[in-house]
Every structure is written in structure tokens, then in C-alpha cells.
Amino acid sequence: MKRKTTAIFASVLILLTAACSSTNGDQAGSKDQQTVTLKFFHRWPSEPRNSYFNYIVKEFEKQNPGVKIEMESVLNDSYKEKIKVLVSSNNIPDVFTSWSDSFAENLVSSGKVKDVTSMFDSDATWANTIIKSQIKPFTFNGKIYGVPFTMDGKAFFYNKKAFEKAGIQKPKTWDELIAALDKLKGAGYDAPLMEGLQNTWAVSHYLGTMNQRMLSPEVIAKDYKTETAQYSDPGYVKVLEYWDKLVSYMGPAATSIDHEAARNLFIAEKVPVMYLQFAELGYLTKNPKLDFDFFNFPAFPEGKGNPGALTGAPEGFMISNTGKHQELAEKFVKFIVSPENAAKFQKDAGAMTAVKGSATAENSPKGTLEAVDVIMNASETTPWLDNAMNIAIADAFMKGGQAMASKSMTPQQVMESVQKAAKLLQSAK
């Protein structure tokens, strides 16, 4: 009897063990099957944006059990190069950031970027939270290929105390701007205007705006298109002559520092004028005593472009059309570009988003609501120079602008290098 009982007990124990093993195996297999990985690549590894995106990833994973977001980020110039390589390969991220206009269009031409028009058409409630004007720069051939997230603009920021002390009003024309800089120089500022000319993109922001102010829209449209580019209009040389004049007010330090160092000089009230993006408003809070205002780039006397145009463009998110989890990728993008998380980004990063109402007096640095009004009411917007034309031509402009600042190139020589870059691209096709 004892042996029989022992045998029965052993059989039950074996069955239970097998059942447990089977259950555990099923659970592990189920877990493996349910785990989905999305690759997310962006260009904001610095604080405070880095912390914001770490929060986004953790919160999305928390709300979506079984989802793993593999996030990678690198800074601007490295990002530009790496995303092009990834898009041209078979290792394109599921979700990635992109500048708008020609940069976005070049990525779209790879055939690997998802047409997200249906995201907007199928969810009107979400789509209506996004400012429509910010969608256009991601629209090509009537289809939307990117979801805008940040929006931005560029303006001359100035120290109000310095202007008031020197008796200067907001300049509206080029001559008034030069007169203001001369007054500030006479008031003791060796460098009344500052920029970090180590950064080529900072040069492009100036030259892009100045080209738009000087040249007719017809000339811009023809030259910024690689196939028809000539860059023979004398207005380009005039722009570079004006650039040479502006650089003369920056002092010798400008060629040896980057944009961040130059911005810190403005924040510390060492220089009274700087050409800044509205996205940089949050940095200005480092000096609570800094009393500032801003004005748009003034008009040239012989300018043929719209003097009321605002330089600036949105950035947003694109989705791979080769990924296995495109619906989940759309869900992740909608999660980031939602009223709640856009407001958090505004508060944490101090930068404006394309989501309506995300900026408030309570969650935004000084000047933000005014900047939103400027962007919303701009009669026209023009993209950054390196987003508006082929990057090889933009490089010729940017490096030429740097060379002029160090007195190693003339305006005519810069334009010769621009024309050469355009011809090389045309001959390669």
C-alpha cells in the first residue's frame, strides 16, 4: 500500500512539474512574441531635451506593455550625415526626426519614408490640434511625409537697456540697423553684434534671410532648384558685401567661438545684439535681469524680396515605410505630438511646438507668446538656407561666409565657388 501511494504521489508530482514547465514556457514564449521593438533616432542629445525624450520613451513603454523603444541621438551635423546613411540603407529607424523643406524632400526621394497623410485624414481630432501652416513644409506632391513638432523663427534680439541708454529705436531698415550698431559701438561696445562663426549653420541663417530680402522670388525659385541654378544675379554679391559689413561689428572673437559661446555673451550682457532663434528663448532665462526684445531682419533699400517674411521652419517626425510595426510607429508619434506632451516639451525645453495652445504664460519663458504671434502672423516664411537648397551649394555659401569673416575670400570668390558647386551637381545628372 505504501509503495502504491508513493508511486501515485510521484506520478502527480511529475505531472505538476510538467504542467508548471509548460506554463512557464508558454509565458516566456508569449512574452517574446509580445515584445515589439521600435527604433527611434533624434538629434537632441543635450539637456533639457534629452531628459524630455527619456521621459517620453519610459512613459510610452509604461502605457504600452511589451513595447521597447530603442532610442539613439546625436547632434546636428552628425545627425544630418547619419540619417542620410540610414535612410539609404536597410537599417532605417522606425521613427526619426527631420528638418522640413528640401532636407525632408531629399529623404522622401529615397522612397523609404511613409506617406502619413492618412494619419491626418483618419483622426481629425488629433490633426486639428496641429497648426496647419507647419504641415506645409512636410508636404510634397500633395502628400504629407512628416508630422511637425517644433516651430521656430529667427530675429535680432537686443538688450533693451543698452538701446534705451543709447537712444535707439527698433530698426526697420538696413540703414537704421547700421546706425544702431554704430551708436552702440560709440557707447563702448567693441562688438555690438555677435555670432559664433565656427558654426556654418549660423552663417547660413544670416545668408538665407539676406538672400530672401535682396533677391526676387523668381530668382530664388530658379536658383534654389538644382536643375536650373545659375546664381548669376548681382544681388548675391551685394548680399555678401552686406554680410561683410555685419561681420565688421562682431570683432575678432567671432571667428574663434561657436554659437553657444556667443549666446552666453549676449545673456551676460557683454554684447547688446544677436541674431537668435525663438527656440533659444529658454536659454535667456539664465539671466533673470536680462531685459530684451526682438525685431525682424530689416529691409534692404534695393531689396526685391518680401521684407515681412520670417526665416524659420518646423522640425518633425518621419516614419519608415519599410518597418514591420508602422501602426505602432504612428501611435508613438501621436503620443509625442499630443497636446499634453507638447505642453510638457514647452515647459521642460522652453521651445515652441506646432501644437495649438501648447505655449502658455505659465509654462513658457519670457517672449514666447510674442514669438508665437510673430510666427502665426508672418506674411511669408522662408526656410533655413541649408534646408532650402542642395547641401553642396549651401556648403559653398556657408564656408564662403566663414572665409569672408577671416578675410580669406571676397564676395566675388564666394559666388564663384557657389556657381562651381551648382555646375558640378548639374553635370553629375
Residue 260 has pLDDT above 70, yes or no: yes
In this structure, of 32-46, 96-110, 186-200, the range with the lowest mean pLDDT score is 32-46
pLDDT band for 100, please (50, 70, 90 cuts). very high
- The confidence band for 129, taking pLDDT boundaries of 50, 70 and 90, is very high
Task: Assess whether pLDDT exceeds 60 at residue 249.
Answer: yes
> What are the structural domain ranges in the chain?
36-152+314-382, 154-311+390-427
At residue 34, the pLDDT reads: 74
CATH topology assigned to domain 36-152+314-382: D-Maltodextrin-Binding Protein; domain 2 (3.40.190)
pLDDT at position 89 is 87
What is the rounded CA–CA span in Å between residue 7 and residue 10?
Answer: 5
DSSP assignment of 311-379 equals E---EEEEEBSS-S-HHHHHHHHHHHTSHHHHHHHHHHH---BSBTT---TTTS-TTHHHHHHHHHH-S
The residue to which cell 507668446 is assigned: 369
**172 and 298 in contact (C-beta within 8 Å)?**
yes
Kindly state the average pLDDT of the residues 224-232: 96
Confidence of residue 21 (pLDDT cuts 50, 70, 90): very low
If you search the block for the grid coordinates 537632441, which residue do you land on?
44
Q: Are the C-beta atoms of 112 and 57 separated by less than 8 Å?
A: no
pLDDT confidence of 42, banded at 50, 70, 90?
A: very high
Confidence of residue 240 (pLDDT cuts 50, 70, 90): very high
Query: Cα 381 to the chain's mean position, in Å?
Result: 15
85 vs 13: which has the higher pLDDT: 85
**Residues with Cβ within 8 Å of residue 369, at least 6 apart in sequence:** 359, 360, 361
pLDDT in tens, 87-96: 988 889 999 9
Note the pTM of the prediction, 2 decimals: 0.84
Burial of 189 (0-12, 13-18, 19+ CB in 10 A): buried
φ, ψ (nearest 5 deg) of residue 126: -70, -45
pLDDT tens-digit series, residues 393-420? 999 999 999 999 999 999 999 999 999 9
> For the residues 282-303, what does the mean pLDDT come to?
96
Right CATH for 154-311+390-427 from 3.20.20.70, 3.40.640.10, 3.40.190.10, 3.30.70.260: 3.40.190.10
Rounded CA-CA distance 56/62 in Å is 10
pLDDT of residue 12: 39
- Is 175's pLDDT higher than 80? yes
Rounded Cα distance between 13 and 245, Å, is 90
- Is pLDDT larger for residue 1 or for residue 369? 369
Task: Specify the pLDDT at position 272.
Answer: 98
- pLDDT higher than threshold 90 for residue 18: no
User: Residue 428: what pLDDT?
Assistant: 87
Torsion of CA 54, 55, 59, 62, to 10 degrees: 50
Q: How many Å apart are CA 366 and CA 361, to the nearest integer?
A: 8
Q: Read off the pLDDT band of 327 (50, 70, 90).
A: very high
